[in-house]
């Protein structure tokens, strides 16, 4: 039953974006937008609060899984395993394939469970050193890192993937596996776009410090944990073992620590991982409140009505909703939560298979998620010492990468295999 008007839902979204631009914490911005949207949409204060709480409660299962994923992420990052994997890829491909090395290292680091912004922070320093040697521009290196990481995010047990799997009631491993072809298309698009940008903009000039060799684990020990995690997720799905990601990811974290002979610091890694996942987990709750208001509104019906009036097939709803919500929240995680929570029933009612809907939404939220009211925009700018004006110039190129993945996913899962 619709309790909030379409105007209220849109106004709430717009108000949340306004608050984020005003530098209010995104979590409070989402809650504030949800509250204002509910009231503007015609609900009483008491009813609006109930809707906010209900929306947050609906996302709790995803929050628990994200917090458990922190154990694995903490081990991979704090032991230096992520750096080792990236370093090995770059060294093996060498300067002759420098651009591809940057893209693949960013993709794999994000794919093994490192958060998208953290992947950028991890890879950017290595990429800049390689880019300086190869005489690349800052723009080309940043696009390579961002495009690679976004492609890897399609394959990763990250908060966005967990939220989508929960929202569409499909196995996490299936969302990851079906993201492979869109991810490959993203890598290809990133490579050609980065190549175009090699001569554009400022060249990389670094202030070199004395080499400080970090004691990194071996490559075999570093890669074992991610391999175990992916293997267990796939086996659980294929053999119907019923092993949830909230069990598999901590197991993978412990095996990683064991392989790298760092079990004596395992509890410290868990703490660091929890710290890294606390932000995304709380953001999920804040986004859940906004999703609750939107789900009680006529917004989804209004969007479907517009599509019908324009003669656009309903199967495009998953992609369009993902793109709009990813842009509105400026977060692939926030967009994933809102879209999979609010639009899952309307999308599935159109006859779209759950896994097809999940992939179209997942790639959709990655099209215009990296905007100035989101944290990835600023984190990525800082990683290469860009100001806001310079960073803004790269948004159209990011859009092309995200749109490539979305088009591939829509054609493949929306039409060919649906």
pLDDT score recorded for residue 62: 86
Residue 191 located in a structural domain: yes
On whether the CB atoms of residues 69 and 112 are closer than 8 A, the answer is no
Three-state SS annotation for the chain: CCCECHHHHHHHHHHHHHHHHCCCCHHHHHHHHHHHHHHHCCCCHHHHHHHHHHHHHHCHHHHHHHHHHHHHHHHHHHCCHHHHHHHHHHHHHCHHHHHHHHHHHHHHHHHCCCCHHHHHHHHHHHHHHHHHHCCCEHHHHHHHHHHHHHHHHCCCCCHHHHHHHHHHCCCHHHHHHHCHHHHHHHHHHHHHHHHHCCCCCCECCCCCCCCCCCCCCCHHHHHHHHHHHHHHHHHHHHCCCCCCHHHHHHHHHHHHHHHCCCHHHHHHHHHHHHHHHHHHHHHHHHHHHHHHHHHCECHHHHHHHHHHHCCCCHHHHHHHHHHHHHHHHCCHHHHHHHHHHHCHHHHHHCCCCHHHHHHHHHHHCCCCCCCCCCHHHHHHHHHCCCCHHHHHCCHHHHHHHHHHHHHHHHHHHHHHCC
1 falls within a domain = no
- Residues whose CB falls within 8 Å of the CB of residue 170, separated by 6 or more in sequence, listed in order: 354, 355, 358
pLDDT, averaged in runs of 10, over the chain (418 residues): 84 92 90 95 94 92 89 89 84 82 93 89 86 90 96 94 94 95 97 94 69 72 90 84 86 93 94 89 90 90 89 92 93 92 92 96 95 88 88 95 97 90
Region for 2 from its dihedrals, namely left if φ exceeds 0, alpha if ψ lies in -120 to 50, beta otherwise: beta
Beta bridge partners of 297: 4
The pLDDT value recorded for residue 214 is 58
Radius of gyration of the chain (CA): 21
In a domain, 175, yes or no: yes
Query: Which residues touch 3 (CB under 8 Å, ≥6 apart)?
Result: 41, 42, 43, 47, 51, 296, 297
Domain that holds residue 202: 6-416
For position 82, what pLDDT does the model report?
84
Domain membership flag for residue 395: yes
Is residue 256, in this structure, part of any structural domain at all? yes
When divided into structural domains, the chain yields a total of 1
pTM: 0.88
Residue 212: per-residue pLDDT: 46
């Amino acid at each position: 039953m619709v309790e909030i008007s379409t105007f209220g839902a849109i106004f709430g979204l717009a108000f949340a974006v306004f608050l984020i631009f005003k530098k209010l914490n995104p979590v409070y911005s989402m809650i504030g937008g949800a509250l204002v949207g509910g009231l503007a949409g015609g609900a009483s204060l008491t009813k609006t609060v109930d809707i906010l709480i209900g929306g947050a409660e609906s996302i709790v299962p995803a929050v628990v899984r994200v917090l458990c994923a922190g154990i694995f992420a903490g081990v991979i990052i704090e032991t230096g395993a992520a750096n080792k994997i990236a370093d090995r890829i770059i060294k093996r491909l060498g300067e002759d394939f420098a651009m591809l090395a940057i893209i693949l290292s960013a993709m794999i680091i994000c794919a093994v469970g490192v958060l998208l912004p953290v992947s950028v922070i991890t890879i950017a320093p290595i990429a800049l050193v390689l880019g300086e040697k190869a005489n690349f521009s800052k723009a080309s290196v940043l696009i390579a890192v961002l495009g690679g990481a976004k492609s890897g995010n399609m394959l990763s047990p990250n908060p966005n993937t967990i939220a989508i799997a929960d929202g569409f009631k499909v196995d996490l491993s299936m969302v990851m596996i079906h993201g492979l072809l869109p991810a490959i298309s993203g890598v290809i698009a990133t490579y050609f776009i980065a190549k175009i940008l090699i001569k554009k903009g400022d060249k990389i000039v670094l202030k070199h410090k004395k080499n400080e060799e970090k004691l990194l684990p071996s490559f075999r020990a570093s890669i074992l944990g991610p391999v175990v995690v992916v293997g267990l997720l796939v086996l659980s799905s294929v053999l119907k073992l019923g092993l949830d990601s909230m069990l598999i990811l901590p197991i993978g974290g412990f095996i990683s620590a064991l392989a790298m002979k760092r079990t004596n610091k395992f509890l410290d890694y868990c703490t660091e991982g929890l710290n890294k996942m606390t932000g995304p987990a709380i953001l999920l709750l804040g986004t859940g409140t906004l999703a609750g208001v939107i789900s009680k509104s006529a917004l989804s019906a209004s969007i479907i009505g517009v599509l019908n009036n324009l003669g656009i097939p309903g199967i495009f709803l998953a992609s369009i909703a993902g793109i709009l919500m990813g842009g509105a929240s400026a977060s692939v995680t926030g967009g994933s939560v809102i879209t999979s929570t609010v639009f899952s029933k309307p999308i599935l009612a159109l006859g779209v298979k759950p896994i097809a809907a999940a992939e179209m939404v997942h790639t959709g939220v990655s099209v215009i998620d990296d905007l100035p009211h989101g944290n990835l925009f600023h984190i990525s700018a800082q990683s290469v010492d860009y100001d806001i004006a310079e960073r803004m110039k790269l948004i159209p190129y990011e859009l092309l990468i995200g749109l490539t993945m979305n088009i591939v996913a829509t054609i493949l899962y929306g039409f060919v295999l649906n």
